[in-house]
Amino acid sequence: MLKRLVIGCVLALGVAAQAGAAELKLGYSLAPTSHYGVGATAMAEDLARRTNGKWTIKQFPANALGGEREMVEGAQIGTVDLVVTSTGPVGNFVPDTLVTDVPFLFRDLKHAHAVLDGPIGQRILDEFPKHGLIALAWGENGFRNLTNSKRPVRTPEDAKGLKVRTMENQVHMTAFRTIGVLPTPMAFPELFTALQQGTVDGQENPIGVILSAKFPQVQKYLTLTQHVYSPALIILSPAIWEKLGAEEKAAFKEAAKVGAAAMRRKAAEDAQNGVEELRKQGMEVVTDLDRKAFEEALKPAFAEYAKKFGQAKIDEIRNYKD
């Protein structure tokens, strides 16, 4: 009954929206000042400009529309119009994104951008409509780093036995399990409390997220592991996409690209300047990770990924040259 009522309201709103200007609901998991917020604002301004004010965007930051998995579900059924999300839970909807979550796959930002903005990235974006979603552009979350409340981590041995929250992502969980960490998948909105109460010892995220989510309040140790590049996606509900003419579709894609570029700039800026700020906020930072030892310890995981994705697919990304 309630569901029908909600669907009825959504349909009514949709009809009203078609008549004139329309406000889109855009959700994300971080604060408005974060890279997601900066990206969303840049996209909103650009979209309004390109469509002469017809399409405006209202932002719902800080998990106001739920966790990332819930927001993507919302986009599928049309209760959420736009989502800026990490790829974390997206592989559960569009399995082709999962290969991007393999650790130590991208050398640096330049490599990641070249792959995602090139034919490989486009091929993945093209998969979304088959799963009831539209992906407008690749944005950025950034290289992820491990934090914990127990001890400085430099080697896989140091990490062993820690209980670490991971995203709801099988590829990440496999990696952590392989090095002897106890991976605990959990939606982002629950994470701060879980760290505070000691339900988990640690978590991993890009510098911008660690700052924005105020994790120094509940985590003492940061290691610059850079163990995996975390792309973001700007996702649109097919319920909106289907209403757009060809010109408007192009405008949405272009605006998303502008938003993604702003997101990347802010994420890179945070990665550059944020570590110092985290130190100021009391974190002890390990900068000399024994990366070789981690890559060695991850070998069984890499064998699993090769089985899952095919070594050729992984190598295609790893060896990609612009």
Binding site for ligand EAX (CB under 6 A): 29-30, 68, 86, 88, 141, 167, 188, 205, 209, 230
Q: How far is the CB of 159 from ligand EAX (least distance, A)?
A: 17
E strand residue ranges, the chain:
22-27, 55-60, 82-86, 134-148, 163-166, 182-185, 202-205, 221-236, 284-286
E strand residue ranges, 36-89:
55-60, 82-86
Nearer to ligand EAX, 51 or 230 (CB): 230
Nearer to ligand EAX, 187 or 255 (CB): 187
Q: How far is the CB of 100 from ligand EAX (least distance, A)?
A: 13
Query: Could you tell me the two tokens for 240?
Result: 């909106």
Q: How far is the CB of 299 from ligand EAX (least distance, A)?
A: 25
Nearer to ligand EAX, 215 or 305 (CB): 215
Nearest-5° angle of CA 63, CA 66, CA 68?
85
Q: How far is the CB of 185 from ligand EAX (least distance, A)?
A: 10
Nearer to ligand EAX, 79 or 205 (CB): 205
Residue 8's Cβ-count burial label (10 Å; 0-12, 13-18, 19+) is exposed
- Dihedrals φ, ψ of 248, to 5°? -65, -40
Q: How far is the CB of 280 from ligand EAX (least distance, A)?
A: 22
**What's the chain's Rg over C-alpha atoms?**
20
Nearer to ligand EAX, 84 or 115 (CB): 84
